[in-house]
C-alpha cells in the first residue's frame, strides 16, 4: 500500500507540467540541486541564530518541528495499515537514532562556530568515512584507487586544520569532522534499514526520539525566542525538512551515483551566503583543502559507480580496481 509520504510527493510532482516526461536522472538531478539549496539555507539560518539561541535548543526545534509535521502522516499510515510503523529491527533503529542525533548536534555546532564554507567543506568528508565504514561493516571491496582518494580527502582536512601553524586547532573543526563520521555511520544504518523499513518510519522515529532526547538539555539552557526568532526557527526547520524529503526523492528518481555529486553544490551556496550575509570569504588553505576533500569524495563516488557497473555486467571493466 502506498504510504502517505509517497502520496504527498506524488501530488507535489504532478503539479509540475511535463515533469514525468523527463528522464529519471534529470528529475533526480533537479531535486538534488534544490535539496542542496535548502540544506544550505538551513545551515545559514543556524549560523544566524547561533548567537541568539543555544545549539542544543536549535537542534531541539529542528527535530520537534519535523516530528509535528510527520505525526499526521504517521496517523494516516496507521489508519491504512496498523502495522505501518512497526519495525523488526529496533536495535539497528536505536543505533541509527544515536548517530543521527550526534550528527545533527555536531553539524549545528560547527556551522554556528565556523565560517559556512569551512564547516561545509569538512562535513563533506562523510563520503570518505562512508568508504571506510563500508569496508569494515558491509565487507565491501575497495581497491587502491579509492583508498588513494580517501587519503587525499583526509589530507585536505589537515590543510584546513593547519596543525603546523603552531596555534591550537579550532575545536569546532574537530566537531565538524566527528559530525561527518556520525553522518557516515548513520548512512550505513539507513542502508541496512531501508531493506525492510519505509521512508516514513526512517524519518518519523528519529525526529520523535531526538525531540525527547534534546528536550531536557534544551530546557536547561532555554532562551525564550521572540516573534522574529521563532519565525527563523520555523524557517530553519522547514528548510531542513524540505531538503531531506527532496534528497530522498532524488535518490528514488535517479541513479545515486549520477545525482550524489550534485549535493556538493552546497559549497557554492555556502560560500555565497557566507560572503553576502556574514562577510566571510575562505582563505587559500581552505580553498585548497576543500578542493582536496571534494576531489577525493567525487573520485570515490566515480569508482563506486564503475564498480557497480562492473558487477552488473559480470566482468571487470576497470582493471580489477573498484
Asked if residue 8 belongs to a domain, the reply is no
145, 79 contact by CB (below 8 A): no
Contact in structure between 246 and 31 (CB atoms under 8 Å): yes
pLDDT at 312 over 90: no
Write out the three cell numbers for 250: 532524488
Angle at 65 between CA 63 and CA 66, to 5 degrees: 60
Q: Kindly state the average pLDDT of the residues 163-174.
A: 78
> 45: closest CA among 239, 276, 236?
236
Residue range 33-52, pLDDT digits in tens: 999 999 999 999 999 999 89
Quick one: pLDDT at residue 261?
A: 83
Which residues, 6 or more positions from 279, have their beta carbon under 8 angstroms from its beta carbon? Answer: none
Q: With H, G, I as helix, E, B as strand and everything else as coil, classify residue 208.
A: helix
- For residue 152, what pLDDT is reported? 93
**CA 169 to CA 263: how far, in whole Å?**
28
Give domain status of residue 319, yes or no. Answer: no
Angle of the 55-80 helix axis to the 24-49 helix axis, nearest 10: 140
Mention every residue, 6+ apart, whose C-beta is less than 8 A from residue 107.
43, 119, 123, 176, 179, 183
Question: Hey, which bits of the chain come out as E strands?
Answer: none
Instruction: Give the tens place of pLDDT for each residue, 266-278.
Output: 999 999 999 999 9
DSSP assignment of 35-85:
HHHHHHHHHHHHHHHTTTS-HHHHHHHHHHHHHHHHHHHHHHHHHH-TTTT
The answer on pLDDT for 257 being more than 80 is no
The rounded distance, in Å, linking the Cα atoms of 206 and 59 is: 12
Give how many domains the chain has, as a whole number.
1
**55 closest CA partner among 217, 184, 192, 174:** 217
Give mean pLDDT, residues 275-298: 92
Q: Which residue shows C-alpha cell 563516488?
A: 301
Measured CA angle at 49 (ends 45, 50), to 5 deg: 115
For residue 298, pLDDT beyond 90: no
Percent of the chain with pLDDT over 90: 47
Average pLDDT of span 297-315: 62
Grid cell, residue 182, equals 556520525
3-state secondary structure 4-41: HHHHHHHHHHHCCCCHHHCCHHHHHHHHHHHHHHHHHH
**What is the pLDDT at residue 277?**
95
Q: How confident is the model at residue 315 (pLDDT cuts 50, 70, 90)?
A: very low
How far, in Å, CA of 295 to CA of 51, rounded?
A: 33
pLDDT attached to residue 316: 41
Q: In this predicted structure, what is the pLDDT of residue 41?
A: 97
Q: Report the C-alpha gap between 148 and 306 in whole angstroms.
A: 16
Round to whole Å and give the CA distance between 260 and 266: 12
Establish if 318 belongs to a structural domain: no
Mean pLDDT of the chain: 84
pLDDT number for residue 321: 40
Taking residues 47-74, what's their average pLDDT? 93
User: Whole domain around residue 258: which residue ranges?
Assistant: 25-310
pLDDT for 187 equals 86
- Cα dist. 80→74, 75, 83, 196, 217 in Å? 10, 9, 9, 18, 36
Flag whether 97 is in a domain.
yes
Any domain includes 1 = no
- What is the predicted pLDDT for the residue at 238? 93
Q: Compute the average pLDDT of residues 216-224.
A: 96
In a domain? residue 306: yes
In a domain, 196, yes or no: yes
The answer to whether position 184 is within a domain reads yes
Q: Does the structure show a pLDDT above 50 at 167?
A: yes
Amino acid at each position: 500500500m502506498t504510504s502517505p509520504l509517497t502520496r504527498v510527493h506524488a501530488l507535489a510532482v504532478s503539479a509540475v507540467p511535463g515533469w514525468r516526461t523527463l528522464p529519471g536522472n534529470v528529475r533526480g538531478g533537479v531535486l538534488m540541486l534544490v535539496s542542496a539549496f535548502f540544506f544550505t539555507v538551513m545551515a545559514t539560518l543556524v549560523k544566524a541564530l547561533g548567537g541568539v539561541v543555544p545549539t542544543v535548543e536549535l537542534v531541539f526545534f529542528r527535530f520537534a518541528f519535523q516530528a509535528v509535521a510527520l505525526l499526521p502522516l504517521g496517523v494516516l499510515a496507521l489508519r491504512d495499515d496498523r502495522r505501518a510503523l512497526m519495525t523488526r529491527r529496533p536495535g539497528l533503529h536505536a543505533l541509527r537514532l544515536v548517530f543521527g542525533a550526534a550528527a545533527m548536534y555536531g553539524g549545528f555546532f560547527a556551522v554556528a562556530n565556523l565560517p559556512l564554507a569551512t564547516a561545509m567543506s569538512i562535513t563533506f568528508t562523510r563520503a570518505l568515512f562512508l568508504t571506510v565504514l563500508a569496508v569494515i561493516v558491509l565487507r565491501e571491496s575497495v581497491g587502491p584507487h579509492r583508498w588513494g582518494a580517501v587519503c587525499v580527502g583526509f589530507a585536505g582536512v589537515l590543510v584546513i586544520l593547519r596543525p603546523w601553524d603552531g596555534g591550537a586547532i579550532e575545536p569546532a573543526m574537530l566537531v565538524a569532522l566527528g559530525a561527518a563520521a556520525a553522518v557516515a555511520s548513520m548512512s550505513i544504518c539507513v542502508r541496512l534499514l531501508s531493506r525492510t523499513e519505509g521512508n516514513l518510519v526512517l524519518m518519523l522515529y528519529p525526529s520523535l526520539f531526538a525531540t525527547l532526547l534534546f528536550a531536557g538539555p534544551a530546557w536547561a539552557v532555554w532562551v525564550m525566542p521572540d516573534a522574529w526568532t521563532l519565525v527563523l526557527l520555523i524557517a530553519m526547520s522547514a528548510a531542513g525538512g524540505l531538503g531531506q524529503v527532496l534528497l530522498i526523492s532524488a535518490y528514488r528518481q535517479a541513479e545515486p551515483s549520477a545525482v550524489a555529486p550534485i549535493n556538493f553544490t552546497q559549497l557554492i551556496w555556502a560560500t555565497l551566503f557566507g560572503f553576502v550575509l556574514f562577510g566571510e570569504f575562505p582563505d587559500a588553505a581552505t580553498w585548497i583543502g576543500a578542493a582536496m576533500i571534494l576531489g577525493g569524495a567525487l573520485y570515490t563516488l566515480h569508482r563506486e559507480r564503475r564498480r557497480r557497473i562492473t558487477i552488473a555486467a559480470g566482468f571487470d571493466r576497470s582493471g580489477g580496481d573498484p
